Amino acid sequence: MNPKTICGIFGNDEPSLKHALLKRINFNNNGPVVDIFFEVENYPSIPPIKWMQQGYNAAQICMKLIEVSSVKLTGWGRNNVVNIELAKIEDNLIYLKAEGAGCNIEIAFKWFDVRVTGYLKDTVK
């Protein structure tokens, strides 16, 4: 991941990619690009001032996967909790694997960019 983006928000509290809540996936043939949005379990111990002013209590990461060469998606539902792993594979490709009880994703790509945003998560059950 982009260390400047992640460290700028989380400091030394590196976000865990375990038990991430997969929220949305966007496919775009211009690139081709896949945007994958997920909520991480841990919230920054010292969030950005803007987040505190807005009352945000959750952090979402968007990974823009660029020059995607393959995608495999199995299952999709309302509560897509996954463990995300990144690995470099042959031919200068990066491999994202997200595995969960009801959703599994495998994506091969060449580049990626990361954005982190805060938001107010509805905590009412």
- Tokens found for residue 20: 């991430």
Give the residue, 82 or 3, on which the prediction is more confident. 82
Predicted pLDDT at 4: 62
How would you label 86-120 residue by residue, b for 16+ Cβ within 10 Å and e otherwise? eeeeeeebbebbbebeebbbebbbeebeeebebee
**Cα–Cα dist 80/9, whole Å:** 24
**Residue 6 to residue 19: CA distance in whole angstroms:** 18
Cα separation, 9 vs 121, whole angstroms = 18
Query: What pLDDT does residue 50 have?
Result: 95
Report pLDDT for 125: 55
**Lookup result for tokens 């994202």:** 96
Tens digit of pLDDT for each residue in 66-123?
999 999 999 999 999 999 999 998 778 999 999 999 999 999 999 999 999 999 988 7
| Mean pLDDT computed over 20-29 | 96
Instruction: Yes or no: say if 11 and 45 are a contact pair by the CB < 8 Å rule.
Output: yes
Joined tokens for residue 50? 């803007």
Residue whose C-alpha is closest to residue 104's, from 79, 82, 77, 78:
82
**pTM assigned to the model:** 0.87
Q: What is the pLDDT of residues 32-73, one digit of tens each?
A: 999 999 999 999 888 899 999 999 999 999 999 999 999 999
**Which is more confidently placed, 24 or 15?**
24
What whole-number distance in Å separates Cα of residue 14 and Cα of residue 12?
6
Q: Distance between CA 35 and CA 113 in Å, rounded?
A: 9
